[in-house]
Amino acid sequence: MNTDAANNAENKEMSFREAMAELDRTVAVLESNTLELEDSLKAYERGVAILSDLKQRLSSAQQKVDVLMGQLDAPADDATTDTTLS
């Protein structure tokens, strides 16, 4: 399994909250400047993968909300509209 596929599989197993916490930890380690260059690059790559997954999840959630909101705002069809004249 390649690195991208492995990262994607790991990301999908984490809840959104867990992925956010993992991203926070990754950022903290990177900001600490305690890693060697190679390890920093690996951590940065992992952070980018997590961030990409989180953005995708947010986009999907937003689409679902938009669909649900559209159902609330959907115009009534002719079968449910009173078309009789008063």
Higher pLDDT, 3 or 31: 31
| CATH, residue 50 | 1.10.287
- CA separation for the pair 58, 78 (Å, rounded): 36
- Mean pLDDT, the chain, integer: 86
DSSP per residue over 24-79, as a string? HHHHHHHHHT-S-HHHHHHHHHHHHHHHHHHHHHHHHHHHHHHHHHHHHHPPPPTT
Range of the domain at 53: 3-68
pLDDT mean over 7-24: 87
Would you say residue 75 lies in a domain? no
Residue 1: per-residue pLDDT: 44
Q: Is residue 54 part of a domain?
A: yes
Residue 83 lies in a domain: no
Residue 82 lies in a domain: no
Number of domains in the chain: 1
**Does residue 85 or residue 27 have the better pLDDT?**
27
Q: Is residue 86 part of a domain?
A: no
pTM of the model: 0.70
